[in-house]
Amino acid sequence: MLVTLLTLMTLGTPMVDSPEARFEAWTGAKLVFTRGEAPSEVLYATTPVLSRERRKAAAEILWREAQHYPKGLFGKIGLDTIAVFAGCGDPNGDGFRPWVESLNGYRYFGRWDAVGAIVACYYDDGQLPLTFHHEVFHHLDATENHRLDYRNFTADDARFGEAVAGRQPYAALKLKDETREALLGVASGDFLEQAVGRYASKSAGEDQAETARWLQTNLANGLLQAADMPELEGSQRVLHLLSVYRAASPLLTTEWWASVAILQAERSGAQRRPGREDVARPVASNAYLDKVDEAVDGAETVANIRRVQPATVRIGGGSGVNLSASGLVLTNAHVADDVGDTFNVQFPDGRVFKGTNIAVSKHFDLALVRLAGASGLPVARLARQAPRVGDEVIAIGQPGTRTPGGEATNYEPWHVSVGTIRGFLPDILGSQSLGRTKHSAWTYWGHSGSPLFDVDGRIVALHNSWDSKTAMRHAVPWEAIVAFLERHEELFARR
């Protein structure tokens, strides 16, 4: 069945010239680029138009993304117009977006308003597909068996909330053996633990649409986690979406989405892997895993820390931790210096990538470093809440091989040390030149940027300094990391 669907998707591609024509022939909807062609209900106050070259680029992107959906589906569900602009600005904000002078208003990304049209702004190549799938989902969320009815849009919100809260969870997704094997061959191992980002807190509808944009760019991963990790809040979000898709159209089955995931990988030239094992387990050349066993007590804690140790890195002369399967390393600002600076980033299994600083906050002493040519990397996740005084923490980092005086230390990389949270300085979101979380895990020169993990293997702080007056180690607190990552959450969607 899976092969048949892939064949139909490929053979059904219309042989027409322009991407706009291909989009319309496949979806049954038109791509438009001016205000006069779109219903007023979906327009913002300011909608600058795209240049001819940018229109062509947008059409190419949306033609590719439209193939996530069965041929003719948009026409069947009454979605007949997709309007694309260079930006969307409006004097009325919603508390989730910045004011942009060039737009003469708050910056928006797209819109749906229970009519046969959506708007998707084209700010960059990585954002446009996310906005497109977000707004398409809104329309599907209000659709049942190909019929649009706005009452459907909120009818499932309570069920969604119950599932995410764990009070009425969906059962794990059932995958056929051939489907599972095919998905394992193209999955990167990344997964959605909770909500996609801060914007999901706006409403249940936005939470679902944000999940949809994540799912449509991580289909293989999303389907596998819904099957294998249904207990996660992120998995319950995905399972709810799959039920919404099926209710909107009988064409949107699990087998359909699996076919799309595999076709995506084939078209992008992604290497097929033999299974998830090569992502979930550290490779044999990671000679530093034994350090976890030597330093950490308790079988469960050992297992949790062994799981995340492969995501810790050496970056320049310091340390860091990888947050994304496509390579996004969190470290200290004083390690990564300025935006645009480059480094060699090494994982404990020996792999080395070129990293570029893409975001920095000297105030929080935090930075994000994007790795070039990376995929399927091991990741570590942020804890759900801040640690408390007395909580055990495990630091993994890169102590320097020389003292400040030049003498050999004989310290080895990927050192593991155990300590506790000793306290917090006031003004937890203040300047982190001296990190405002105090801890007792042993560190040395080079440990800057080392993650502090809790016993579940979640990041609760990032070591950055020590106080020469008290000899106390300090780390950037959980709250500052959360604030920094929320400020730059769009970077996690870029590839």
SS3 463: strand
pLDDT value for 471: 82
Helices 204-216, 157-165: inter-axial angle, 10-degree rounding: 70
Whether 298 is in a domain gets the answer yes
Whether 111 is in a domain gets the answer yes
Domain count for the chain, please give it: 2
pLDDT value for 62: 96
Vertex 309: Cα angle to 495 and 347 (nearest 5): 55
Query: If you average pLDDT over residues 408-427, what whole number do you get?
Result: 93
Whole-angstrom distance, CA of residue 289 vs CA of residue 294: 9
Model's pTM, two decimal places? Answer: 0.59
Which residue segment(s) compose the domain that 45 sits in?
2-268
Whole-angstrom distance, CA of residue 473 vs CA of residue 417: 12
Of 181, 182, 162, the C-alpha closest to 170 is 162
Q: Strand pairing partners for 344?
A: 354
The H-or-E segment that residue 110 falls in is strand 110-112
Q: Give the percent of the chain with pLDDT over 90.
A: 70
Q: Examine the pLDDT at 195 and tell me if it is beyond 70.
A: yes
Q: Examine the pLDDT at 266 and tell me if it is beyond 80.
A: no
Which carries the bigger pLDDT value, residue 278 or residue 40? 40
Whole-angstrom distance, CA of residue 394 vs CA of residue 312: 12
Assign residue 362 the CATH number of its domain.
2.40.10.120
pLDDT value for 1: 53
Let me know whether 120 and 188 are in one domain. yes
Let me know whether 356 and 421 are in one domain. yes
* Averaged pLDDT of the chain: 89
Let me know whether 232 and 288 are in one domain. no
Q: Examine the pLDDT at 458 and tell me if it is beyond 60.
A: yes
**Among residues 241, 268, 295, which one ends one of the domains?**
268
Question: Per the structure block, which two tokens stand in for 243?
Answer: 């039920």
Query: If you average pLDDT over residues 189-197, what whole number do you get?
Result: 82
Over residues 207-257, the pLDDT tens digits come to 999 999 999 999 998 999 999 888 889 999 999 999 999 999 999 999 999
pLDDT value for 12: 46
Let me know whether 298 and 345 are in one domain. yes
Let me know whether 222 and 115 are in one domain. yes
The H-or-E segment that residue 112 falls in is strand 110-112
pLDDT value for 269: 53
Whether 230 is in a domain gets the answer yes
Over residues 113-137, the pLDDT tens digits come to 888 999 999 999 989 999 999 999 9
pLDDT value for 330: 97
17 contact partners, CB below 8 Å, separation of at least 6: none
Over residues 43-91, the pLDDT tens digits come to 999 999 999 999 999 999 999 999 999 999 999 999 999 999 999 999 9
Q: Examine the pLDDT at 476 and tell me if it is beyond 60.
A: yes
Whether 20 is in a domain gets the answer yes
Task: Compute CA distances 41 → 88, 96, 113, 117, 120, whole Å.
Answer: 14, 21, 6, 9, 14
**pLDDT interval class at 493 (50, 70, 90):** low
Q: Examine the pLDDT at 309 and tell me if it is beyond 70.
A: yes
Q: Strand pairing partners for 46?
A: 89
Over residues 323-363, the pLDDT tens digits come to 998 899 999 999 999 999 998 999 998 888 999 999 999 99
102-128 burial, b for 16+ CB within 10 Å, e for fewer?
A: ebebbbbbbbbeebbbbbbbbeeeebb
SS3 333: helix
**Among residues 237, 268, 299, which one ends one of the domains?**
268
Contact 214, 222 (CB under 8 A): yes
CB atoms within 10 A of CB 252: 20
CB atoms within 10 A of CB 276: 20
Q: Examine the pLDDT at 273 and tell me if it is beyond 50.
A: no
Query: If you average pLDDT over residues 263-287, what whole number do you get?
Result: 51
